[in-house]
Structure 1
């Protein structure tokens, strides 16, 4: 069943919606009928006019042929909107030539304006927007009104006016029906997308709750076993601990990303010393760096560096950035530096890795994007860390920038606003009172 379904998907891919096909087919039949039948009307109202029947049959048959071929030929179905637009301009030019050849007699001018309005309808349907229809109809109606002012007795055939009005009415009905169907389709698609998003968020929230608890138990047991088991078994316990931390970190990033996309992430800002955030992260990642033969160094001022932010969000931001630097560095190390500049604080995470290609820099912060993919991957990860870090910093009013040159490493810089003096003094007073 699966191969058959994939084949069907390949066949219909790129074709217009069924409602649009039906509308274009109806307009094609209408064009054929009007092109041929109006010749007989003009023979009565303008017997001396130059208006070859064979040319009308050719134009009408071309429109009808495109309609009939759309039932059988996939290419015609796929490009029916383009074909209809092209035919509408051909018919418009042809009827304009007829009006000029017959010295702008009133009946041919009315017919030309009708074709003009029809071209706007076809063009508007091709764009799936109502504006071109309104522009064409408004301009055509204005020309008819001006023409009636210039000619006291235009001698316009009532049959021409009635038929043209009926044709325009039918076309407007088709367009309005199409727009309503399109609106209904968009509404149904929006509801399906919202339901899918709600399902995803609920699933991730449940996964986070159901998986975090057993993972915490596994990590706790692994830490205890690491001190109890014989030395020759510690390597396996460390593998369990490393894999568990990696899975927990991935799960946290997934849930944070889902909550941010759904605008449901609630931050709890408070006064945070950046040093107290950075030191535990560096200690936690020290083991990963040592396994690769890397060093981690930090240049931090001795005095507290306060920012007003959510501590858990900051922890995720810096963990993701430092962990990313270690992941892509093969030799040398990672250096973290905290610096102050006016009312801003900056944290530079510099690595001695291979650097980042300019083409990769453009998509660096997109979700699930990585520098190498498939069989060429040389590192672990899902491509979420930097995306989550940047979006969290945006919510915190911070920035994340990167400078990199191939062969010379990369530097990720986090910019945050310093906590105001009043907030720092209040925090200090509360601690003194305690």
Structure 2
């Protein structure tokens, strides 16, 4: 029992200064008001005893509350709790209970986020390794074949060199996209916003990509906005967006046309890239902006896709406080759109 009292008093010692101050004031007033020293000393002894009893009670209560908190913290450390609702403290500790619940919930969310990051990192490294191996092994195969004697065969050597060269271009594109996506996701992408003439800007991009469209006998059409329309954005980064979207539209369209439209709204202008290509299923639309996700992996590699283009497009568009939207129907075509501020 005495050990328990000692523990209680030890728990209550944080209030010892306040008790001593109160007792000192009481004793001082007792000496000033009461002339009878016997009564004064009697009151001092009673005050001392009452203080010990009160300190014991306060220490007992505080020790119990501390044990509650220790038990909860130990439970969190040992993963005893699965949900914040399982954490319960006494009535006097409700404010602390809510803080611990919030801390526990944040800890769970942080752990889940770290696990997700690790999964993403692992998948990313696996995808990068695979994507790098594909062109490297192809180039190696062509070179080995040429070294084994095919280099002297005029019907084979140029064809193999052309294919090897195409794979080096694909590899260069992949590395460029990897650098871009790395800078974007690490927050190192620097944006330079300004107003620019959208008709002049898109016309130049269309002119650069017309040759690619003609090679597939596809019509590349631009429907201009009103003359002099100025939009706000980063011209350099937006060129990546237009180039990626138009390139994809041409690559996955076998016949028909690819259209680029600018529809003026009250505060924004809607940019639309529409094609009459193979289209995308609703199931795939939800995932096409993921890194290395391909609707048709074999076809994508055949046309030189890196699997990063749409992920880059999404990040750049979002950096303009906009959102990339997709409408598509398999066998009919696709429409990608986003808005820029006027």
TM-score, normalization: structure 1? 0.43
For residues 208 and 165 of structure 2, what CA distance do their matches in structure 1 show? Answer: 12
Instruction: Give the corresponding residue for 1:308.
Output: 232
Shift in alpha-carbon separation, 1:241–1:350, aligned structure 2, 3 A: farther
Instruction: Give the corresponding residue for 2:261.
Output: 337
Instruction: Give the corresponding residue for 1:286.
Output: 210
- How far off is 1:393 after superposition? 1.0
- Of the two structures, which has the highest relative contact order with CA contacts closer than 8 Å and spacing of 6 or more? 2
- How far off is 1:416 after superposition? 0.8
Shift in alpha-carbon separation, 1:393–1:119, aligned structure 2, 3 A: closer
- How far off is 1:300 after superposition? 0.8
1:123-272 alignment, distance < 5 Å:
125-126=78-79, 135=88, 138=89, 248-272=172-196
Q: Secondary structure at the match of 1:369?
A: coil
- How far off is 1:293 after superposition? 2.1
Instruction: Give the corresponding residue for 2:325.
Output: 401
Check the 8 A contact 2:280/2:330 in 1, yes or no.
Answer: yes
Q: Secondary structure at the match of 1:399?
A: coil
**Residue 276 (structure 1) aligned with residue 197 (structure 2):** no
- How far off is 1:256 after superposition? 2.0
TM-score, normalization: structure 2? 0.53
Calculate the aligned-residue CA RMSD, in Å. Answer: 4.3
Instruction: Give the corresponding residue for 1:366.
Output: 290
For residues 343 and 318 of structure 1, what CA distance do their matches in structure 2 show? Answer: 21
Q: Secondary structure at the match of 1:383?
A: coil
**Unmatched runs of 5 consecutive residues or more in structure 1:** 1-116, 143-178, 201-233, 419-434
Q: Secondary structure at the match of 2:245?
A: helix
Shift in alpha-carbon separation, 1:311–1:240, aligned structure 2, 3 A: farther
The one-character-per-residue Cα deviations of 1:227-246 (angstroms, maximum 9, x if unpaired) are xxxxxxx9999989977765
Instruction: Give the corresponding residue for 2:251.
Output: 327
Instruction: Give the corresponding residue for 1:356.
Output: 280
The one-character-per-residue Cα deviations of 1:21-70 (angstroms, maximum 9, x if unpaired) are xxxxxxxxxxxxxxxxxxxxxxxxxxxxxxxxxxxxxxxxxxxxxxxxxx
Check the 8 A contact 1:347/1:415 in 2, yes or no.
Answer: yes
For residues 161 and 204 of structure 2, what CA distance do their matches in structure 1 show? Answer: 22
Instruction: Give the corresponding residue for 1:85.
Output: none
Count how many residue pairs are aligned between Structure 1 and Structure 2.
Answer: 222
**Unmatched runs of 5 consecutive residues or more in structure 2:** 1-69, 94-103, 126-157
The one-character-per-residue Cα deviations of 1:128-178 (angstroms, maximum 9, x if unpaired) are 76967853xx46xx9xxxxxxxxxxxxxxxxxxxxxxxxxxxxxxxxxxxx
* Structure exhibiting the larger radius of gyration computed from Cα positions: 2
For residues 295 and 249 of structure 2, what CA distance do their matches in structure 1 show? Answer: 13
Check the 8 A contact 1:402/1:411 in 2, yes or no.
Answer: yes
1:93-104 alignment, distance < 5 Å:
none
Check the 8 A contact 1:343/1:417 in 2, yes or no.
Answer: yes
- How far off is 1:291 after superposition? 2.0
